[in-house]
Structures are given as C-alpha cells and as structure tokens.
Amino acid sequence: MYGIVGFMNREKMPGDQRSVSITSTVFTRLGRGQARVRRFLAHCAASGMCVAGLYAILILMSECVGFFIEMLVFTLMGVIVNAGSLLKFVALAIMLVAYSYDCFNNIEKKYLKLNKALFSEVR
C-alpha cells in the first residue's frame, strides 16, 4: 500500500536529482510506528464522533416521536373531557358532508341525463 501511494506522489525535492515520495519523507521524519499510531488514533476519533452523532440523532428522533404521541394523547383527553362542547361541531360536520353528498350526487345524475338527451338530439 505504501509503495503505491509513494509511487503516485513523487515530486522533485530542491537540490536533489532523484525523486522522493511525500510518504517516504513523512515516514522518515515520524517513523512507521508513530505514523501508524497517529492514523489509528485519527480513525478512533472519527469513529467516536460518528457513534456520538448517531446517538444524538437517535435521541432527537425519539424525542420527536414522543412529542407526537403526547400531542395525540392530550388531544384525545381534551376531546373526551369536552365531549359536550365538541358534539355540536361534529354533528355539524357530519350533516354538512351528508347534505353536500346528496346535493352533488343528484346534480351529477341530472347532468348525465341532460347530457344524454343533448347528444341524442345532436346526432
């Protein structure tokens, strides 16, 4: 692995006629053991941050779900406690839906009958 990376990153150093890779320069300054330790610590730090981020997102999502469940429960409690006040509005909504269905259903039937009569006259 190091040979490929070193081969791809070759550059000329000032005052030197041979090409030296950047990775070999880093390894000669730090040594292979220190570079591995630093890389390992960097990977551990990144992994720890990913796990902490995932944990934070899960906590936020659970709080959101809990909020919506509480909102539903308190709404149902309010409906049960104030059933007398709410009943007239529910009855009004049901009557509105029923009467509008009857009205538009009859209109549709009358329109279809008129449409058939007009097309029979045109032909």
Phi–psi pair at 9, nearest 5 degrees: -105, 40
- Identify which of 64, 31, 74 has the alpha carbon closest to the alpha carbon of residue 39: 31
Per-residue confidence band for 21, with pLDDT thresholds at 50, 70 and 90: low
Integer Cα distance of 42 and 36 in angstroms: 10
Integer Cα distance of 106 and 82 in angstroms: 37
Q: Is residue 66 included in any domain, yes or no?
A: yes
Q: Does 123 lie in the same domain as 87?
A: yes
Integer Cα distance of 10 and 21 in angstroms: 4
* Count of structural domains, the chain: 2
Q: Is residue 56 included in any domain, yes or no?
A: yes
- Type of residue numbered 115: N
Q: Is residue 15 included in any domain, yes or no?
A: no
What's the pLDDT score for residue 55?
97
Q: Is residue 118 included in any domain, yes or no?
A: yes
Q: Is residue 26 included in any domain, yes or no?
A: no
Q: Is residue 11 included in any domain, yes or no?
A: no
Q: Does 71 lie in the same domain as 93?
A: no
pLDDT in tens, 59-103: 999 999 999 999 999 999 998 998 888 888 999 999 999 998 888
Identify the domain containing residue 66 by its residue range.
44-81
Q: Is residue 60 included in any domain, yes or no?
A: yes
Per-residue confidence band for 23, with pLDDT thresholds at 50, 70 and 90: low
Q: Is residue 52 included in any domain, yes or no?
A: yes
